[in-house]
């Protein structure tokens, strides 16, 4: 994608980050240099951790890794050290790319890995022959990247996605929403989230301009909106939580980024009042609800909002992308086609991830034989989401069948928080629930540790968004007949949310 866009228009701006920008020719050159420097020093088809802030250097690192025949995984510098170490142990990466600035921190975090510095890699000579030989050996079912997500066992799961899945998805995605070379995409998502895959590869495929919005702008809405206006953004592929951040501050009343013509949102249900604000300020823009988990490469369904339709009772997640079959399964594994019947959402197609990296058991639980196909091996992914068809035959999201939630844009399995909490000395038993009405994580525990101490320990070991904002010590919790925690009854007893 990068090379094609470079061939078509080498002088066009490919990526911009504050006051720095690179043309397609420069981005391609730096990526090739990085790939040439890494070639022979990292094993083909091996994972490489990229430990740095999101930005142009991370992009060059990704493409350099790909040129070297390996695959990348973004290590977000915001995550606590313990989380990064556990990601590295899942990945078993013997190579890490970082910046000059983060070099000693990277050495401390990954003492057994070889650490490369991007500023040095970018200075290497391009070895066209070496890169061409590597290219011949790579096939499209090889992994392109690994994105980590919360895992109920307490260890994050690394979702491995192949080149082929991204090629398949991005081609349709850019075509359906007419993303072209004149577009300017504002990248909101951190690079360890697959929302950013749509920004990066749509821009590269279309030869468009990718504008990276620095992370810190999301805590300064005025600066954020000025940045969108100044950069004449046309496409926003954003998480619902990020769009709501602007509307919650009534940021659009301050200034409206008038050049924006497409807003595609995903990750959770878009609250109606926030949607209305965006629609009122940008009445001519195209609004799209995108749905899907990372395991099926970004999204599997979409719904283009109609200006005339009333969405106050919810926005459907819509219809499948081409070359993807989104199946609603009944409890006895039959395909549901009737309207108004709830079922489990499963997905079939090229866009399915390869599985959870080095986790065969977890992979086998969710990537299963298609129960509708008795003739040959065919994998479907069980999303754990529930859905039903509305009166128009479009799919509507109806919550989860497990304890996975979305909080501040993050996908969290509540059991992961409980595992981490119960591993702390002085915690006997604990429970974490999500109070949907108040949008609040609540933690309850029995034990001897004092609340404040517990919070301090949790903050040191878990990502900030996983530490419950409300924690209470309780005297008892209710167990089921099998000795498991009865989440619902316990929540009723101690006053948690309804979604326990």
Residues 145-184 that bind ligand AMP (CB under 6 A): 149
Task: Choose, by CB under 6 A, the member of 69, 251, 267, 320 that binds ligand AMP.
Answer: 267
Task: Choose, by CB under 6 A, the member of 35, 156, 251, 293 that binds ligand AMP.
Answer: 293
Please state, in angstroms and rounded to a whole number, the distance separating the CA atoms of residues 126 and 35: 8
Q: Are 446 and 439 in contact (CB under 8 A)?
A: no
Q: Give the nearest distance from C-beta 409 to ligand AMP in angstroms.
A: 8
Nearest to 169 by CA among 140, 139, 209: 140
- Residue reference for tokens 């390869």: 354
**Window contacting ligand AMP (CB under 6 A); options: 111-119, 200-208, 262-270, 479-487:** 262-270
Residue count, binding to ligand AMP (CB under 6 A)? 17
Question: Residues 365-384 vs ligand AMP: string with x where CB under 6 A?
Answer: ------------------x-
Side-chain-side CA neighbours of residue 290 (13 Å): 28
Residue among 211 and 317 whose Cβ is closer to ligand AMP? 317
Please state, in angstroms and rounded to a whole number, the distance separating the CA atoms of residues 293 and 291: 7
320 is a contact residue toward ligand AMP (CB under 6 A)? no
Residue among 6 and 147 whose Cβ is closer to ligand AMP? 147
291 is a contact residue toward ligand AMP (CB under 6 A)? yes
How are the residues of the chain apportioned to helix, strand and coil, as percentages rounded to the nearest 5? 35, 30, 40
Residue among 163 and 406 whose Cβ is closer to ligand AMP? 406
Q: Read off the tokens for 384.
A: 């754990």
Q: Give the nearest distance from C-beta 379 to ligand AMP in angstroms.
A: 17
Q: Give the nearest distance from C-beta 46 to ligand AMP in angstroms.
A: 24
In sequence order, the β-bridge partners of residue 42 are 39
Please state, in angstroms and rounded to a whole number, the distance separating the CA atoms of residues 20 and 37: 23
Residue among 130 and 408 whose Cβ is closer to ligand AMP? 408
Task: Choose, by CB under 6 A, the member of 215, 274, 398, 411 that binds ligand AMP.
Answer: 411
Residue among 36 and 152 whose Cβ is closer to ligand AMP? 152
Q: Give the nearest distance from C-beta 12 to ligand AMP in angstroms.
A: 30
294 is a contact residue toward ligand AMP (CB under 6 A)? yes
Residue among 251 and 387 whose Cβ is closer to ligand AMP? 387
Question: Residues 107-146 vs ligand AMP: string with x where CB under 6 A?
Answer: ----------------------------------------
Residue among 96 and 270 whose Cβ is closer to ligand AMP? 270
Please state, in angstroms and rounded to a whole number, the distance separating the CA atoms of residues 27 and 423: 45
Please state, in angstroms and rounded to a whole number, the distance separating the CA atoms of residues 52 and 210: 18
Residue among 67 and 238 whose Cβ is closer to ligand AMP? 238
268 is a contact residue toward ligand AMP (CB under 6 A)? yes
Q: Read off the tokens for 210.
A: 């990718």
Q: Give the nearest distance from C-beta 240 to ligand AMP in angstroms.
A: 7
Q: Read off the tokens for 101.
A: 């600035």
For residue 312, with 0-12 CB atoms within 10 Å meaning exposed, 13-18 middle and 19 or more buried, which class applies? exposed
For residue 271, with 0-12 CB atoms within 10 Å meaning exposed, 13-18 middle and 19 or more buried, which class applies? middle
Residue among 22 and 79 whose Cβ is closer to ligand AMP? 79
Residue among 397 and 445 whose Cβ is closer to ligand AMP? 397
266 is a contact residue toward ligand AMP (CB under 6 A)? yes
Q: Give the nearest distance from C-beta 287 to ligand AMP in angstroms.
A: 12
385 is a contact residue toward ligand AMP (CB under 6 A)? yes
| Pairing outcome for strands 440-447 and 71-75 | unpaired
Q: Give the nearest distance from C-beta 415 to ligand AMP in angstroms.
A: 16
**Window contacting ligand AMP (CB under 6 A); options: 184-192, 213-221, 288-296, 331-339:** 288-296
Listed as own residue / partner, the contacts of 430-435 with beta carbons closer than 8 Å and 24 or more positions apart are 431/477, 431/485, 431/487, 431/490, 431/491, 431/496, 431/500, 432/468, 433/487, 433/491, 433/496, 433/497, 433/499, 433/500, 434/405, 434/407, 434/497, 434/499, 435/470, 435/496, 435/497, 435/498, 435/499
Q: Give the nearest distance from C-beta 265 to ligand AMP in angstroms.
A: 7
| Pairing outcome for strands 47-51 and 71-75 | parallel
**Window contacting ligand AMP (CB under 6 A); options: 180-188, 228-236, 291-299, 331-339:** 291-299
DSSP 123-181: TSPP-HHHHHHHHHH--TTSEEEEEEE--TTSS-EEEEEEHHHHHHHHHHHHHHTT--T
269 is a contact residue toward ligand AMP (CB under 6 A)? yes
Helix (H) or strand (E) holding 472: strand 470-473
| Pairing outcome for strands 143-149 and 157-162 | antiparallel
Count of C-beta atoms within a 10 Å radius of residue 467: 22
- List contacts with ligand AMP (CB under 6 A): 149, 266-269, 289-291, 293-294, 317, 383, 385, 397, 400, 406, 411
């Amino acid at each position: 994608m990068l090379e094609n866009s470079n061939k078509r228009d080498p002088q066009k701006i490919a990526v911009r980050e504050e006051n720095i920008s690179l043309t397609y020719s420069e981005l391609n050159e730096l990526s090739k240099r990085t790939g040439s420097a890494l070639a022979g020093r990292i094993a083909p088809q091996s994972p490489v951790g990229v430990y740095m802030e999101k930005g142009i250097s991370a992009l060059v690192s990704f493409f350099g890794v790909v040129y070297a025949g390996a695959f990348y995984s973004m290590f977000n510098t915001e995550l606590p050290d313990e989380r990064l170490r556990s990601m590295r142990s899942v990945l078993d990466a013997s190579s890490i790319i970082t910046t000059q600035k983060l070099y000693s921190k990277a050495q401390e975090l990954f003492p057994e890995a070889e650490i490369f510095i991007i500023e040095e890699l970018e200075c290497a000579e391009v070895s066209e022959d070496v890169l061409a030989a590597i290219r011949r050996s790579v096939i499209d079912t090889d992994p392109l990247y690994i994105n980590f997500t919360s895992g109920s066992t307490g260890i994050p799961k690394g979702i491995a996605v192949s080149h082929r899945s991204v090629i398949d998805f991005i081609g349709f995605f850019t075509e359906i929403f007419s993303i072209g070379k004149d577009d300017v995409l504002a990248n909101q998502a951190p690079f360890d989230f697959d929302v950013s895959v749509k920004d990066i590869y749509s821009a590269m495929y279309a030869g468009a301009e990718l504008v990276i919005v620095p992370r810190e702008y999301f805590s300064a809405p005025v600066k954020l909106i000025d940045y969108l206006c100044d950069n004449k953004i046309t496409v926003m592929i954003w998480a619902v939580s990020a769009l709501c951040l602007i509307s919650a501050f009534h940021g659009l009343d301050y200034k409206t980024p008038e050049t924006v013509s497409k807003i595609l949102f995903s990750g959770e249900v878009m609250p109606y009042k926030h949607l209305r604000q965006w629609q009122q300020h940008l009445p001519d823009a195209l609004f799209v609800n995108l749905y899907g988990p990372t395991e099926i490469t970004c999204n599997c369904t979409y719904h283009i909002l109609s200006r005339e339709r009333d969405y106050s009772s919810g926005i459907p997640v819509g219809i499948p992308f081409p070359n993807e079959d989104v199946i609603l399964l009944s409890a006895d594994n039959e395909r549901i086609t009737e309207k108004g019947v709830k079922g489990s959402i499963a997905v079939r197609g090229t866009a399915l991830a390869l599985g959870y990296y080095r986790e065969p058991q977890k992979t086998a639980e969710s990537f299963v034989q298609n129960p509708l196909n008795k003739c040959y091996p065919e994998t479907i992914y069980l999303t754990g989401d529930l859905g039903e068809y509305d009166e128009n035959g479009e799919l509507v999201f109806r919550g989860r069948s497990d304890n996975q939630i979305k909080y501040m844009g993050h996908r969290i399995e509540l059991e992961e928080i409980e595992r981490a909490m119960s591993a702390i000395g002085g915690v006997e038993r604990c429970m974490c629930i999500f109070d949907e009405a108040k949008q609040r994580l609540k933690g309850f525990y029995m034990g001897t540790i004092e609340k404040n101490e517990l919070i301090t320990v949790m903050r040191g070991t878990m990502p900030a968004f996983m530490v419950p904002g409300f924690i209470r010590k309780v005297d008892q919790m209710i167990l089921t007949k099998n000795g498991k925690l009865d989440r619902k009854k316990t929540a009723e007893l101690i006053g948690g949310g309804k979604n326990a």
